[in-house]
Amino acid sequence: MSLSLVVILAVSTLCAAYAVILYNGLVRLKHGVGKAWSNIDVLLRQRHEELPKLVETCTQYMQYERDTLEMVVHARSVVYSARERGDIVALGQAERGLRSGLDQLFALAENYPELKASESFRHLQQRITRLESGIADRRELYNEAVNLNNVRVEQFPDVILARLFGFASAPLLQFGESEKADVDLKSLFR
């Protein structure tokens, strides 16, 4: 065997090994994004199941707040629909509407002492608040996984394999600017 053939085989083997390592790294990142999304999805499902209980509890006390209750129910269905379609962008927009409705509902509950005193309402309010915190935490982890994935599928030489094997960028889960802004408590109690 000639020296040039050995060198060509060695270089080919190294290139193939490098390509396998890059490919496996892309696969790992892709599945990391999927896992992070699954973690959010679990909490979204739990909250989806808790919201009808909250609305039912509030309905018993808040006879005059139908619009707010209907807004929460409608927002819940929009979030559910976006989640089922896997539309991350639409989910972010739908979450903004749901969070607004929940904020308004919890603010209006202040006007109903019997509701505030209800053990069921307090339990549901605390449960939904914990779920909201969990969703925010997991959204951060999801967006970090997406960021790592997106950087890898766009940087050289990974971009070559990413395009060749169909690896794509993933969308960030972003809620609206209102999620980042300070809450105007006065407007909630008008």
Residue ranges of domains in the chain: 3-188
Summarised one tens digit per residue, pLDDT across range 73-104 is 899 999 999 989 888 888 888 888 898 888 88
Farthest CA pair distance, the chain: 91
Query: Residue 9: in which H helix or E strand, if any?
Result: helix 3-61
Summarised one tens digit per residue, pLDDT across range 117-136 is 788 888 888 998 899 889 98
CB of 124 within 8 A of CB of 56?
A: no
Q: What's the Cα-to-Cα distance from 68 to each of 50, 102, 103, 117, rounded to whole Å?
A: 17, 9, 10, 20
State what percent of residues in the chain have pLDDT above 90. Answer: 39
CATH label, 3-188, candidates 3.40.50.150, 1.20.1440.20, 3.40.47.10, 3.40.190.10: 1.20.1440.20
Closest C-alpha to 134, from 146, 145, 126: 126
